[in-house]
């Protein structure tokens, strides 16, 4: 009997290793069909899940409370599963090289608990070759088993978009691959249990790995182009958003916008591709240039803030700057690799210590990752400058009266608004006399 049939008949279990924004929704989805063990080293996170709390807001507290996933921090429980899904982060080091320690560590953990007849599927973003050249040797060493004989491996890149309630796990085509055709078919059938729109069978693991890094690199390059335009148009005195709106009237416009590019995918994946290319003697030109542009946008925005403060007759060192949003994207609590940090650091160079407001972010995460204390919005009433850095619905829906209440008592032309995400009504804001700038 195939592993797929045994899993469906609940004779064997699936394990999901790494229960963050990617792993947890996968575990919950599979648990509606089969038996699932959810493993994570973070005891606090596991405790929240067991108590029916979803700190990611990806599936919601009710779904977590109802799920049959067996949440655990005990790695020996992995011995009870035969199909392992790996969903740990793959960050970059300070020098922009891949940090493979999380995926190497989880490979060792699974290897110690791997049994004959198992399949291990990696979802973590890596450069082509990592699964076969780095992960499989670790699995073999720790388990004493032989890949292709005692167990098999696959790669199926995650495509979940944190905070997106439209493009969900179930309706995003899943790329799957395996070490051989038998593994590929088993992996495809098991994923088809939860992927309603079906799967795409890649010809090899390296093809699947490459597809993931290049789809995010492509997006990164397109945003970099818009960011470069924004910097040039700012010098020309042309409103970038008005240009974008005009351009988007053409049927084949790609509809990208300038902005901060952070998060755990688009701001990271291109560096994995660049790293492997350079190892092979090829120096990236387009991808690396795009990365440099996007990595510099935080400083560009911060310098625009300083310029607007000066033009509004503010004493820069004494200015009270309030940044609205620190997560890497709107309506999502995920603060990983948020480029708002670059704005903060640049303002610190001008001796400005901005106040950070974000009702979506976890205060503990914000403090741990960026050393900032989040302040409730209702405590802001004397700002000199408001920086809309993240397009949370709460910020997008603000009325003029609410905005005005956040400023100090001085003329509107001395009240600075920097709209990084272009979420405010420019005509209305300028009609009220505020000093307004948008990317």
The long-range contacts involving 52-55, CB below 8 angstroms and separated by at least 24 positions, are 54/24, 55/333, 55/362
Distance between CA atoms of residues 181 and 379, nearest Å: 60
3-state secondary structure of 1: coil
Distance of CA 23 to the CA centre of its chain: 13
The span from the first CA to the last CA of the chain, in angstroms, equals 58
3-state secondary structure of 58: coil
Cα separation values, 203 from 25, 200, 221, 305, Å: 27, 10, 26, 50
Annotated catalytic, 432?
A: no
3-state secondary structure of 36: strand
Cα separation values, 200 from 26, 113, 116, Å: 18, 30, 27
Distance between CA atoms of residues 310 and 308, nearest Å: 5
Distance between CA atoms of residues 376 and 359, nearest Å: 7
DSSP annotation string for 130-166: HIIIIIHHHHHHHH---BTTTEEEEE------TT-SS
Select which of 135, 147, 265, 332 is catalytic: 265
Q: Which residues are catalytic?
A: 265
């Amino acid at each position: 009997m195939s592993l797929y049939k045994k899993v469906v008949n609940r004779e064997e279990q699936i394990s999901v290793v790494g229960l963050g924004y990617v792993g947890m929704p996968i575990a919950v989805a599979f648990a509606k069909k089969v038996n699932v063990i959810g493993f994570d080293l973070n005891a606090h996170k596991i405790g929240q899940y067991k108590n029916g709390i979803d700190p990611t807001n990806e599936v919601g507290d009710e779904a977590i409370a109802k799920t049959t996933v067996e949440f655990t921090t005990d790695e020996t429980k992995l011995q009870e599963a035969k199909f392992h899904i790996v969903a740990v982060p793959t960050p970059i080091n300070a020098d922009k090289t891949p940090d493979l320690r999380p995926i190497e560590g989880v490979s060792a953990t699974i290897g110690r608990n791997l049994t004959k007849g198992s399949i291990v599927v990696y979802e973590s973003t890596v450069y082509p070759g990592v699964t076969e050249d780095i992960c499989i040797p670790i699995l073999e060493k720790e388990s004493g088993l032989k890949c292709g004989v005692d167990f098999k491996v696959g790669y199926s890149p995650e495509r979940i978009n944190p905070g997106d309630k439209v493009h969900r796990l179930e309706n995003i085509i899943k790329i799957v691959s395996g070490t051989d055709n038998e593994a590929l078919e088993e992996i495809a059938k098991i994923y088809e249990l939860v992927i309603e729109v079906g799967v795409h069978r890649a010809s090899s693991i390296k093809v699947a790995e490459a597809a993931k890094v290049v789809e995010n690199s492509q997006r990164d390059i397109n945003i970099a182009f818009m960011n470069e335009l924004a910097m040039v148009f700012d010098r020309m005195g042309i409103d970038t958003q008005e240009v974008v709106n005009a351009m988007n009237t053409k049927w084949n416009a790609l509809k990208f916008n300038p902005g901060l590019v952070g998060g755990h995918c688009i701001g990271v994946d291109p560096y994995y591709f660049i790293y492997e290319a350079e190892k092979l003697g090829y120096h990236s030109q387009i991808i690396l240039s795009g990365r440099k542009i996007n990595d510099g946008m935080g400083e560009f925005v911060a310098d625009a803030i300083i310029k607007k403060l000066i033009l509004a007759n503010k004493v820069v060192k004494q200015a009270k700057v309030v940044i609205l949003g620190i997560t890497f994207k709107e309506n999502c609590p995920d603060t990983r690799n948020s480029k708002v940090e670059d704005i903060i650091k640049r303002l610190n160079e001008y001796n400005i210590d901005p106040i950070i407001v974000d009702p979506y972010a976890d205060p503990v995460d914000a403090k741990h990752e960026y050393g900032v204390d989040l302040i409730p919005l209702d405590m802001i009433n004397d700002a000199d400058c408001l920086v809309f850095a993240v397009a949370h619905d709460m910020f997008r829906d603000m009325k003029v009266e609410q905005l005005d209440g956040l400023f100090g008592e001085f003329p509107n032309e001395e009240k600075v608004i920097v709209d990084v995400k272009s979420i405010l009504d420019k005509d209305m804001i300028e009609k009220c006399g505020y000093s307004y700038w948008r990317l």
